[in-house]
Amino acid sequence: MHPELVSLLSHCRTLPTLPGVALRMIELAEDPATDLAMAADAIALDPALSARLLRIANSPLYASAHRRRVDTLSQALALLGLNAALSLALGFVVARTLQPDHALAGMHERVWQRSALAAMAARLLAERLQLERPEELMLGALLQDIGILALLHAMPERYAELPQVPLQGPERLEVERDHLGGDHTEVGAWLAGRWGLSGYLQRMIRGSETIETGDRTLGCVVAAGLLADVWIRPDDDHAREQLDQVAAALDVEALDIETLLERLSTLAPEMSALFDVRIHREEHAREIEQQGRELAMIRHLLEREDLQLAVREATRLKARTRELDDLVRRDPLTGAYNRRQLEDVLQQAFEEAERRREPLSIAFIDLDDFKLVNDRYGHLVGDTVLREFSQALMRMLRASDLLARYGGEEFLVVLRRCGAERGKQILERILADIAACPLATVDGAGIHITFSAGLATHGEDARFVDAHAMLAAADEALYGAKREGRNQVAMQARAEYSPDPA
């Protein structure tokens, strides 16, 4: 990097510094005497960080065929392992540290979207290639673009005025060097060194745009970033060509690439929730931009008093808006609503039930032994099972009900104006129908699957404080069903409801 750029970054007051919990993670990672108890004590000081590690331990990323719910931080660390937990914790803290506070939040979100997808892709690739330290590779992929985020913090206006080229790739590196005196991989590695991150991570960040490399671990990080690019922009032929080149050097076949891209689609909702970033394909964003242009055209027609044409255009755009709005609210793999939409609908349904004094039931549904399907038949078949299960469930529910994919193989059903007994009857009927029909066929043999469900009801005998309390009750009931042997519907114990006000 040019000395002037180093000086500017070194004296920049807006460039974030790592909080104490992150520095403690780095210290623990470097200390050979560190154990799980020490790590748990440090992480427990940050409730938000503890919650994220609990979530990831219960997510499909670490699910096993016979998993039990992880309820405590100590259990989460034992499942993840010490090095993995420290790497993941550090990644979550860095992601939180580099949140935007300026007008370039849109660019910031695009960078973090790519980073979150790349992190997941790196872990999948590490599993496929049987590489050691998969979580460190995941962290390296997550942090590969922190140089862009650092430049956005340090010189937002100047960075925004760079010539319009893709956010990653040789063109971006060349433009950054010409206009700033260094590129984002250099800045990222410099920042990682200043923060005290390991030389291993600094090397991953510095080499993240190196297409030709004989280093398999670095190649994994590079390929992960390109997988993210291709997932976000399926029509990016240049990124696809580079991905094929890196994949060939890693002995990853074309079929494996498509499988990995499908897996990213499956896991995108989980990564979105873990890193608080909206993950979507770029064509959705382009359609939103097109909407803006069309609205401007309608305003222009109205100004010209071309009312008839303006009304026709407005009607067409309104229909397209509804289609696009529905698209961004749905999970791309299953067609069920996504988690963001679920949170909005559940809150509205809870408030409506309170106002009208009507019962409201929700059910957490978890496919039994779903990991066995993935392990035995592959993830593409597993994705087919998820898709068919979701479609079958939507056909069986009422128009007023809502089905959302909560993450992995977990779904949540919102049953409006439905009491506990009626809700249980509905779920048991659905369970019987689902178990009776194959959701996929492999070599002429049908794949049947069952599910466990936990039901919670607001109203009737007792009431919950809020929608989040309902979710927690349904979640607890779900794991009760799984503890009792799966393939059943369990109801939350009434004794654990909040008392109904007199």
Instruction: Give the residue among 182, 151, 148 at the shortest CA–CA distance from 166.
Output: 148
409 catalytic, yes or no? yes
Of 409, 410, 460, 476, catalytic: 409
- Residues 187, 151: contact at Cβ < 8 Å? yes
**Helices and strands (H, E) in the chain, number of each type:** 23, 7
Question: Which uninterrupted H or E stretch holds 364?
Answer: strand 360-367
Rounded CA gap, 297 and 184, in Å?
Answer: 39
Rounded CA gap, 286 and 303, in Å?
Answer: 26
- Residues 453, 417: contact at Cβ < 8 Å? no
Rounded CA gap, 225 and 238, in Å?
Answer: 13
CB atoms within 10 A of CB 191: 27
Length of the chain in terms of residues written: 502
Rounded CA gap, 47 and 57, in Å?
Answer: 15
Rounded CA gap, 144 and 296, in Å?
Answer: 38
Amino acid at 85: A
Question: Which uninterrupted H or E stretch holds 365?
Answer: strand 360-367
Compute CA distances 360 → 252, 345, 416, 452, whole Å: 49, 12, 5, 20
DSSP tag of 501: P
Which residue's entry shows tokens 């992929």?
A: 141
Which residue's entry shows tokens 């229909």?
A: 319
Compute CA distances 260 → 132, 151, 255, 345, 353, whole Å: 19, 31, 9, 32, 42
Which residue's entry shows tokens 């440090």?
A: 42
Rounded CA gap, 210 and 299, in Å?
Answer: 47
- Residues 36, 30: contact at Cβ < 8 Å? no
Active site residues: 409
